Amino acid sequence: MLSNYVPLVAMGLLGFGFAVFSVVLATIVGPKRYNKAKYDPYECGIEPVHQPMGAGRFPIKFYLTAMLFIIFDVEMIFLYPFAVSIDMVAWFGLVQIFIFIGAVTIAYAYEWRRGGLDWN
C-alpha cells in the first residue's frame, strides 16, 4: 500500500533538492561585488525613481490593454476543447466555432478601429 507513494515522495525530494541546489549554486556563482546598476530594476529603459506610494499613476491605456489581452487570451483558450474534440462535434460544432471566431474578429476589429490597440 505504501509502495504506491514512493514515486510521489521521490519526486517531492527531487524537487526540494533542486530548489536547494539552485539557491546554493546562485550564492556560489552569483555576483560577488556590489554594483548599483545590477541591483536596480529594469523597466523598459526607464530609469526607476523612488516615489511615494500612489504618486506615480499609470495611464488608463495600460489597464485597457491588459484587459484586452486577458479577454482575447481566454477566448483563445475556448478554442482548445474544440480542437481536441473536432471529430466528435461534426458540422454543428464547426458552425459554432466559426460563429465564435467571427464574434472574436468583430470585437478585435472594433477595438482596432476605436484605437484601443494604439500606444500613442
3-class secondary structure for 71-89?
HHHHHHHCHHHHHHCHHHH
Question: Which CATH architecture describes the domain 2-114?
Answer: Up-down Bundle (1.20)
The residues, ordered by sequence, that sit 6+ positions from 85 with a Cβ below 8 Å of its Cβ are 93
Separation between Cα atoms, residue 10 and residue 89, nearest integer Å:
41
- Three cell numbers written together for 36: 548599483
Q: Is 6 left (phi over 0), alpha (psi -120 to 50) or beta?
A: alpha
- pTM for the full predicted model: 0.46
pLDDT (tens place) for every residue of the chain, 120 residues total: 788 899 999 999 999 999 999 999 998 998 777 777 766 666 666 666 666 555 667 777 778 778 888 888 888 888 888 888 878 888 888 888 889 889 888 988 888 888 777 776
Separation between Cα atoms, residue 20 and residue 24, nearest integer Å:
6
